[in-house]
Amino acid sequence: MNEYFELDYVEYAVTFLKPKTLNFEESWQQVFTEMDLQFHKTKRSIYYECIAFGGNSEFWEDMSNENRLQYFKWCYEFAINYIGFNGTDRNIMFAYVLDRENRHVLEVYYLPATHNIQKKIYSHERSPSGGYLQAKDLNDNYIYETVYSSRPFLSHYQFWKERGGETAYSSLQEDFYQQVSENYHVRRGESLSPTWYTCDAQQRRYNRYEGDEYDQLYMPDEDED
């Protein structure tokens, strides 16, 4: 990541909306320490995320440098409200605008922090190795409980579950469209994801429904074993 940033700084104009004063690892560690985060490391742990805002060349062609920077400031405000910890920038490592020829992008690097965590509920049954098995409900789904702590957790899964779970990314795009991009008369694109990944507003706008042609693309072939 440090090499990636160094290359960007050399080749492109960079404008910071939240300064980066340390290298990538140190920036991560600073936020982690200052927030006093709890972190239960697993093989699939996600340590940080990046939310990016941009546009195609047609979007930028009649926009002045001043107006473009103002657009990205609105994008950054949206990011703080959406992924910021309790509506603040405490969990954001840094944020900057890269200006390239006919391409401009705001990148916001952050830690997915939350006060809640999912904890497994175990049954009285044991596995062949002797450990207790996780409990399941009547639909054969694993059971969890949500645990709150005043000391926040670093948890990608819980972070996005609180923002809608499977439809979280679709909801993020929809909220951004309504709060920011619609003011620029930009058309909201149709999501071709299965409906179970698509928020209600997006489904209504494009008359999506469960089992439509895009859902069919993701359904397993019934003839397959």
* Strand pairing report for 122-126 and 113-120: unpaired
Backbone CA torsion sign across 15, 18, 19, 22: negative
Cα(11)–Cα(143) distance, rounded to whole angstroms?
A: 50
Structure token digits, residue 60: 């930028």
Confidence label for 79 from pLDDT (cuts 50, 70 and 90) = very high
Percent of the chain with pLDDT over 70: 93
Percent of the chain with pLDDT over 90: 41
Instruction: Give the pLDDT band (50/70/90) at residue 220.
Output: low
Query: What does the pLDDT read at residue 95?
Result: 96
> Contact, 177 vs 60, CB < 8 A?
no
pLDDT at 38 over 80: yes
Judged against a pLDDT cut of 50, whether residue 161 lies above it is answered with yes
**Looking at per-residue confidence, does 178 or 204 come out higher?**
178
pLDDT of residue 225: 42
* Confidence bin at 37 (pLDDT 50/70/90): very high
208 contact partners, CB below 8 Å, separation of at least 6? 191, 195, 198, 202, 214
Instruction: For residues 97-125, give the mean pLDDT.
Output: 90
Please tell me the predicted confidence (pLDDT) of residue 89. 97
